[in-house]
């Protein structure tokens, strides 16, 4: 899984990336601080199955603390996108190429309205305009790819397959191509599209292929009214209020032992004596965290993984009695699966041979045998019975 962090320059993308990954990156108050994409790992939080089973897990592919599993997800932070990027302005198409493999996008906007769509200082700018600008630039870029290959596409009788093959590097699927065409009333049987039709289709495909989460950043410098206004303008889009700067400050303070803080927590404990200036800053951060139920940064990852991508967490085991693998590790792997996935889908995730040779599965909680078509539920613990070892 790859989460892409996008946005116009000077919105706090690199600060958010650093807060989520604890990786030091260049952070500055000017456009194009990020030139090459930053790569790292963030963690989605989910209640561990150990809580309900009353056992102590020994994780392998993730970590667990206080009954919460921290499940890794890859993260990429790319250069800021400006109006005209699809024509080469700013970092241009390089930005867009860096995002082709992303499964979901987190767009960072300036909730305070103090920077415009190019990252320049302004007063009372509407952050919803940034969302439209990013979507428009990505759609124009995708439409241009389609139009460049139009002469080849129109010769194909299987329009849906032809478009899918053209855009296969965009990490799309035939189903997404068909759904996008249906939603914007574009015929795949006749791909002699003009720019407007190509753009309509591209926008619809982006919504299918790259679901969007909005990080309403710099919320500590804004108001609840501004947040509610942004949400109303972006009806149907997940919008999360956050302060990447406060999260990063707390993560750094925790790293050097000044505070006891866990990402997503609604409070923190000061462990050392601080200067008057530090104490004032910590009280400011405590007030924000208490008022908003956290910094909102962890909520972004959870919203992307479990909201936009509609994942559940499943635990494959080899011993349904002890909920363990062959080495005795309890609930060793927390696997993210799309809601609606089956036991056989899980078997294929574990190993292709196990999926091919699967006979049935066992629900480790009830000890009841289930068929390959069994639809998985969140926090299921499953033993796969297969002819493959």
Under a CB-based contact definition with an 8 Å cutoff, are residues 114 and 174 in contact? no
Alpha-carbon span 257 to 260, nearest angstrom:
7
**Domain 311-386 homologous superfamily, CATH:** Beta-grasp domain (3.10.20.30)
Distance between first and last Cα of the chain: 26
Domain residue limits, the chain: 311-386
Looking at the DSSP bridge assignments, the partners of residue 381 are: 315
Among residues 42, 387, 22, the alpha carbon closest in space to that of 213 is found at: 42
- In sequence order, the β-bridge partners of residue 217 are 110
Q: What angle do CA 252, 58, 319 make, to 5 degrees?
A: 155
162 Cβ partners below 8 Å, 6+ apart?
152, 153, 156, 191
Q: Which of these, 342, 354, 347, 344, lies nearest to 387 by C-alpha position?
A: 354
- pTM for the whole thing? 0.88
- List, in order, residues 6 or more apart from 97 with CB less than 8 Å away: none
Q: What is the dihedral of CA 179, 181, 187, 188, to 10 degrees?
A: -70
pLDDT per residue rounded down to tens, the chain (389 residues): 899 999 888 899 989 999 999 765 444 443 444 446 688 999 999 999 999 999 999 999 999 999 999 999 999 988 667 666 566 554 545 666 778 889 999 999 999 999 887 778 898 899 999 898 888 888 988 999 999 999 999 988 888 899 999 988 888 889 999 999 999 999 998 889 999 999 999 999 999 999 999 999 999 999 999 999 999 999 889 999 999 999 999 999 999 999 999 988 999 999 999 999 999 999 999 999 999 999 999 999 999 999 999 999 999 999 999 999 999 999 999 999 999 999 999 999 999 999 999 999 999 999 999 999 999 999 999 999 999 87
């Amino acid at each position: 899984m790859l989460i892409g962090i996008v946005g116009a320059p000077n919105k706090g993308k690199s600060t958010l990336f650093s807060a989520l990954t604890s990786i030091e990156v260049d952070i500055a108050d000017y456009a194009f601080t990020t030139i090459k994409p930053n790569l790292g790992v963030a963690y989605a939080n989910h209640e561990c199955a150990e809580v309900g089973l009353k056992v102590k897990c020994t994780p392998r592919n993730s970590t667990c603390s206080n009954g919460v599993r921290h499940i890794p997800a890859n993260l990429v932070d790319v250069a800021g996108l400006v109006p005209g990027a699809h024509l080469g302005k700013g970092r241009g198409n390089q930005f867009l190429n860096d995002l082709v493999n992303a499964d979901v996008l987190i767009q960072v906007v300036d909730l305070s309205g103090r920077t415009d769509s190019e990252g320049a200082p302004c007063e009372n700018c509407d952050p919803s305009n940034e969302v439209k600008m990013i979507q428009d630039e990505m759609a124009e870029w995708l439409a241009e790819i389609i139009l460049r290959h139009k002469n080849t596409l129109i010769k194909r009788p299987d329009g849906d397959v032809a478009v899918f093959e053209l855009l296969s590097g965009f990490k799309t699927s035939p189903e997404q191509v068909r759904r996008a065409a249906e939603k914007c009333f574009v015929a795949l049987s006749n791909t002699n599209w003009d720019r407007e039709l190509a753009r309509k289709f591209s926008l619809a495909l982006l919504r299918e292929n790259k679901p969007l989460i909005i990080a309403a950043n710099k919320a500590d410098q804004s108001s609840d009214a501004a947040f509610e206004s942004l949400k109303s303008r972006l009806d149907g889009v997940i919008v999360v209020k956050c302060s990447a700067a406060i999260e990063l400050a707390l993560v750094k303070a925790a790293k050097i032992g000044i505070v006891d803080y866990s990402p997503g927590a609604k409070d923190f404990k000061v462990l050392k004596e601080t200067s008057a200036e530090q104490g004032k800053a910590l009280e400011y951060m405590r007030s924000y965290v208490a008022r908003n139920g956290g910094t909102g940064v962890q909520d972004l990852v959870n919203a992307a993984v479990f909201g936009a991508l509609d994942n559940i967490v499943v635990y494959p085991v080899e011993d349904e009695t002890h909920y363990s693998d062959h080495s005795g590790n309890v609930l060793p792997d927390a696997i993210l699966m799309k809601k609606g996935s089956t036991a056989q889908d899980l078997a294929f995730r574990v190993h292709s041979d196990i999926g091919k040779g699967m006979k049935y599965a066992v629900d480790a909680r009830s000890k009841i045998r289930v068929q390959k078509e069994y639809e998985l539920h969140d926090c299921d613990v499953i033993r796969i019975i297969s002819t493959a070892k």
